[in-house]
Chain A
Amino acid sequence: MVAIALVTVASLFTLVGFRVVAAQSSFALDRLTKERTNEQLRYERLREDVARRSSPASVIAAARRLGMVDAPKQAFISAPSAGTHGPAQSATPPALAPTSYESMKKALDQNP
């Protein structure tokens, strides 16, 4: 009988405990939901702000405030044609001195 009473009381306390934990969790959930909503609103605001500031009207206005002016018409520079001079020859890479890598590394280590 006593055992039954103890089990009953323990069960009741456990149940109440679960209820308290559930209530606390629901508070936490509510807080997180609000945080998420606020962050979502903040994201929307920032996104709108970025879009507004990067729009052509804003960029041009900012550029003019900085003293920039419209560029004149562009000019094309014609590079001289890369014609061949003399008969084509196969290229051979210059031979590297065996110590060139080590000496370069040493020089760089000394004068980074």
Chain B
Amino acid sequence: MTPNLHLWLIPILPLVGAALNGFFGRRFSRQTVSAIALTFCGASFVMALWVAIQFSSLTLPHYELLAHWIRYGDFMVNFEFYLDQLTLVMLLVVTGVGSLIHVYSVGYMWEEGGYYRFFSYLNLFMFFMLTLVLSGNYLQMFIGWEGVGLASYLLIGFYFTRDSAASAGKKAFIVNRIGDFGFLIAMFLMIKHFGSLNFAEVFSKVAEYPVETAGIGVLTSIALLLMLGACGKSAQIPLYVWLPDAMEGPTPVSALIHAATMVTAGVYMVARSHVIFNHAPTALTVVAIIGTLTALFAATIGIAQTDIKKVLAYSTVSQLGYMFMAAGVAAYSAGIFHLMTHAFFKGLLFLAAGSVIHAVGGEQDMRRMGGLWKYIPWTFWTMTVATFAIAGFPPLAGFFSKDEILWQAFSSEHGSWVYWLIGVITAFITSFYMFRLWFMTFFGEYRGAEASAHAHDAHAHDSHGHDAHGAHGHGEPHESPMMMVVPLAILAVLSFIGGWIGIGGRFEHFLAPVMSSREVSVAAETASHSTETLLMGISILAAVSGFGLAWLLYYRNRDLPQKIAESLGGLYRTVAHKYYIDEIYAALFVKPLVEGSTDILWHGIDQGVIDAAVNDSASGARHLSDGARHMQSGNLRSYAGWVAAGGAVVIAYMIWMGVTR
């Protein structure tokens, strides 16, 4: 008899918090609002921990039915909760990192307007994310999937009075809609072919199918459509464009939603559906290629960005690419491992970046920072840990997970040395742009004061963000309050040691029961141990050389980058403008859509046909009655005349009828 864990409480608790703050928060003080938000989010985390403690005594996968939802013939969807190792990892990451970011937000958002609104949205996000993670079927997962999109939209557009924030929110929402379309169609196909959306039932049906090696069959279609959904949510090529713009939201939001949790939902979904993907090698290859290309592509854009949050945004896209690369070579555990460590160090990077922005009074342009390490030591040291972690220096978290992915990309049966090579190049670029950020922000002299003296000189990116912290004025950079520093410190510790649980494949063995269809063959690993060590050495070398190059260009010889950029000319401009992808999308998709809607649908059909039909029939009726109203002259005798004439007509008709009968 398995105990009832009341898993439904985990998502519901933040929803209660969101409702309390959302409906009554306007009347609460800031202290009350933060207390409510932290209590309910923290309660979720405590419950997740409690589940983790009991975990070993459960029979897995643990399943809890809350209520029936849809019943139509044999087809049935329930509100149900599903717990296995994969869920547990996601659960702890989401509630843990989420709670830390809630704490941080209390400090970060203290001065901002709409305080209760922010925390209400944040709790709402937690509810939907936990629904997504805990769901036992695709439809309930889809609720969470759409819900996090909604929360993301609300939070990106949090400073809705700023036009750029409002349109960034819309962009995120609309681009995600394209992906969700794929997810929906995939679900329809599942209903059609498997008659169920429940994970266990779908996967057992899929297991009966043969592996689709050639052509695009049912499973490949489903897998590709799911991947389309994942591309939207997890910002992969071709749908990654919304994520950099999403940096318009407050920085804690970027950390929680657009780095640590929501954007990893796609990876989680692919890992969850690994049975389908394993039966569709073609789709798996597509996943790997998309992941690899995204990793490289986004990393190169990251080199030329000057907005500190934009660098991190492209870095996130790139790291998500790594996760998909892992999923694409059927090394789902490695992907989830990287997901977890990434949640630690990228969450930390964003929070630390927020702390930096806070310190310099809302400035986001790295060219106006510099020398900050002596002003904000806590932020500096935590960010240093995160930077070294993401760059892949051992023994920090990022090294273990990234190395695992690269090794799997090389050695897995679906892998290839091409993936590995691009992965290593990306690792080098990652290391380079992260240390570029690090050197530009923390070393050299503080350039903020000098820049504000002759303000708004040649800075092309001035119009960006600023998080409404600009009102602070521009004094000496100052360290953030304890509420912000403590989460930074905790995440720094996690970024440091978080990778150690993966040593010796322990993480994979933990997830192995979930990913049962492809057991990591320990024997093969040990056999090629020397190769693995060699590859590990190369990836460390890549990380170190990235550091070295950044040191050379942004510490030692700071005029050099300018010269290189000038000598590269057009190439540099292309990269700095993100390969003009936004412009290309605007010309290819947005403009035809907008113009077609305006000229054909609006002016042509709506105004020309629908409105015209209504207006013309109305004005026709008006003209007709305009003639008829002259009959009402107010003259009594003319009325009498009409009556008499009418009577005469009736009598004449009756006589005529009498005659003809």
Does B associate with A? Answer: no
Chain A interface residues (CB < 8 Å from chain B): none
